[in-house]
Chains A and B, each alone.
Chain A
């Protein structure tokens, strides 16, 4: 069964610092991969998705993620954190038309 692991339930950075949120997937066949963000009391918003067209994927709000098959990873990065980036981030995977499987989430805390 497909699974997604997000290392670190909480990540703290200072404003202006690099953001790195980790995601690893388990599958012998690379799935389609997604990063979602959830602000308090809101639903999930898609940041970016990997569809096998390019290994480096650029998303909204300055985020990007790199697909590395050899490491079964799809880590999310942003060069410079902003206070408004504080939220919960979820990595998700999908094989074909199968259900979307989410990781447990990483809460990003940004301090001034």
Chain B
């Protein structure tokens, strides 16, 4: 049983560019959440997708957008990249909206984004 997978592993972009990160949830999971983890910090919630709609959003600007596909996989898009967007981006999958609030979120290995 494959866990949560993310691609690419590493990415280097320059300021002003746009980036797309991808996530495939654990088999059987229908909810995907994205987190940003800056160096030395805990993960910060960006948003959550369920049934192809954004269900919750954290305190992130509109430059951060996402999408969920019918097969439950998801993309995170960041426009007009800033130096401060450099971080590890984590994807987590769960059955949280059908499995209850205590359902475990399973995390992928993350995508390390560096903005120069």
Pair A42/B109 contact, Cβ less than 8 Å? yes
Residue of A nearest to B56 (CB): A99
Pair B43/A102 contact, Cβ less than 8 Å? yes
Total contacting residues, chain B, CB less than 8 A: 25
Pair A46/B102 contact, Cβ less than 8 Å? no
In the complex, number of A-B residue pairs with CB atoms less than 8 Å apart: 59
Residue of B nearest to A9 (CB): B40
Per the bound structure, the CA–CA distance linking A99 and B45 in Å amounts to: 7
Interface membership of A56, Cβ < 8 A: no
Pair B42/A102 contact, Cβ less than 8 Å? yes
Per the bound structure, the CA–CA distance linking A99 and B58 in Å amounts to: 8
Total contacting residues, chain A, CB less than 8 A: 25
> In angstroms, how far is the closest chain A Cβ from the Cβ of B94?
10
Of the A-B pairs whose beta carbons lie under 8 Å apart in the complex, a sample of 15, sorted by A's number, is: A43-B108, A43-B109, A44-B107, A45-B107, A46-B104, A94-B102, A96-B101, A98-B56, A99-B48, A99-B56, A100-B33, A100-B92, A102-B42, A102-B43, A104-B41
Write the residues of chain B forming the contact surface with A, with a CB cutoff of 8 angstroms: 4, 33, 35, 40-45, 48, 56, 58, 90, 92, 96-97, 101-102, 104-110
